[in-house]
Structure 1
Amino acid sequence: MARKARSLPARAAVTAAVTGVLVAGVSACGASADDDAHPDHRSFALHGRTLTVDSDDAGLEIVAAKGNKAGTVQVTRWFEGKVVVGGGPTVSWSFQDDRLRLRMHCSGLIADCSAKYRIEVPQGVGVDVDEGNGSVRAHGFADALGIHTSNGEVHVTDSTGPLDLRSDNGPIRAEAAASRVHAETSNGPVDLTLGRVPDRVDVTSDNGPVTVALPRAAYHVVKAESDNGGVSVSVPRDDRSPHTVSADSANGKVTVRTAN
């Protein structure tokens, strides 16, 4: 289902022109989904135990909702946008085979659009997120949670299920009690604070510092390395421990410490 944007107040903008030709795709910053006072809402029937979220360009907040009706995914959408010389901006959502597909079309001489979603998932359901351009926040999951964004921050809180967190360009943060954590970013810091002793932690950053804060226990530190930065490991170490930690950065300090 597509929705056209409401008219917005005029903004000052810089117009780009080439003799005899208008060049599409010039963007102006300023639109904010937070300005949408009348968000849209939809409910989708979930048939399995895993929800896939496929989004091209939006901020996502995904929560495991205690009061959510079993088998139903509740989605709220905020959107603001304006296009000068081009088609009207639109957003759409669809749901098939337990895949929620979120799309935004915003192109023209001057294109200024912003979308965000709150996705409420029944407890007992795992989530797999593929985000093209936008931040992803997730809260309250006891089942497996996988998040990949090509450009944006990943932030997970209050979750106990296994975490697989990836960002091609953006920081990764987690304050959780997960038993297993994989966190990987090509450009950005990784900061994990775990509230219970994990079975396995595997963290990598190609460009950014890595910090892993762990409950007091003995750990088998498989690797703690940095190609360009300091390394500090202050947790008790025991190569016989079943709790393993691997943390490395190609460019940034690596810290593995006991949580305060």
Structure 2
Amino acid sequence: MGMRPHTVLALGGVAILAVAATGCSPDGTPANTVVESKMFDFSGDSLTVKSDSADLQLVAADVKGVRVTRQVSGTKVGGEIESGWKLEGGVLTLSLDCTGLSVNCGAKYTVKVPRDVAMTAENGKGLVEATGFTADFSAKAGDMRLSDLSGPHLDLEGRDGTIEGDRISARSVTVASRNGDNELNFVSAPDLVDVRSQDGDVRLGLPEATYAVDTAAKKGDITVDVMKDDTSDHAVRIHTRNGDIVIGKREAP
């Protein structure tokens, strides 16, 4: 059974569309799911998105303002499932709160933002996905899946999860990872890649060029399969405490 539209409300000129899933829909949306969308007025050049446990999907798009779609699903017995969203002072806060004796819930927020907005994403326990941004991008989260990021600077802080980046063309990339593997594939030679990892493997796929390479691993193997030149303008520094380091040619698209 598919989605069933419920109500469209006009609140202060902002449209909210609510849809409920009462069974398994053709697009795979789980049962007991409520889908809502809201457009926020926004004209700034930078945006911070904060969440504690809901998954975040950040999409650069041809939009005016910030469009948010949330999917909240779950079951409850003697409990409450509450979600919230607000945009104040350039900070978009997206929340999910599950309380009660027997509550099982989850949420995913899809956020569409103008392409040239500088983004900061902070997610305590959930996933951050991002694609298509052309300005600076930074994220602090567990798992990250990133693609087609071409802004000047990419700054990532991983906690307990994997970081995956594909078709990256940022000039400067810094990664600090606590516990989890890191894999980044570049479509253009970066000026700087600096990765510091405590526990986890690090894999870089780089275009053909010469690189000034600095690697160190206390416990782990190191494999470097790119042309090295200590005077190169393209610097790669990878230091790990416990994990392998692999630097090679980028994977074919």
TM-score by length of 1: 0.82
**Could you report, residue by residue, the CA deviation over 1:178-218 in whole angstroms, capped at 9, with x for unpaired residues?**
11111222110000110001010011221111011111111
Percent of aligned pairs with the same amino acid = 33
2:205 to 206, 213, 218: 213
Question: Matches of 2:115 and 2:32 in 1, distance apart?
Answer: 28
Aligned residue in 2 for 1:160: 150
**Does 2:107 align with 1:115?**
yes
For 1:27, the equivalent position in structure 2 comes to none
Match of 1:40 in 2: 36
Residue 242 of structure 2: SS of its match in structure 1? coil
Q: Which position in structure 2 is the counterpart of 1:146?
A: 138
Structure 1: stretches of 5+ with no match in the other structure? 10-31
Residue by residue over 1:138-165, the C-alpha shift from the partner in whole angstroms, topping out at 9 and shown as x without a partner, is 000110011101xx31111011112111
Higher strand share: 2
Task: Tell me how large the CA RMSD over aligned residues is.
Answer: 2.3
Residue 68 of structure 1: aligned partner: 63
State yes or no: 1:249 paired with 2:240: yes
Structure 2: unaligned runs, 5 residues or longer: 1-10, 12-19
CA offset digits 1:28-81 (Å, max 9, x no partner)? xxxx9744665101111113200110111111110110x312xx0000000012
Query: Secondary structure, in 3 states, of the residue corresponding to 2:179?
Result: coil
1:5-84 correspondence runs (5 A): 34-35=30-31, 38-65=34-61, 67-69=62-64, 72-84=65-77
Quick check: 1:124–1:142 contact (8 Å CA) kept in 2? yes
Does residue 225 of the first structure (1) align with residue 216 of the second (2)?
yes
Q: TM-score of the superposition, structure 2-length normalised?
A: 0.84
Measure the CA separation in 1 of the matches of 2:230 and 2:116: 35
Q: Distance in 2 between matches of 1:194 and 1:101?
A: 31
Report the residue type matching 1:238 in the other structure: D
Contact residue 92 and residue 104 of structure 1 kept, 8 A = yes
Deviation, 1:8, is 7.8
Is the 8 Å Cα contact of residues 33 and 80 (structure 1) preserved in structure 2? no
- When residues 8 and 250 of structure 1 are mapped into structure 2, their CA distance, relative to the original with a 3 A threshold, is farther
In 2, Cα distance between equivalents of 1:249 and 1:61: 29
Q: Is the 8 A contact 1:34 1:78 kept in 2?
A: no
Q: Distance in 2 between matches of 1:142 and 1:36?
A: 36
Q: Which residue of 2 aligns with 1:89?
A: 81
Aligned residues: 229
Question: By how many angstroms is 1:226 displaced?
Answer: 1.1
Using CA pairs under 8 Å that are at least 6 residues apart, name the structure with larger relative contact order, 1 or 2. 1
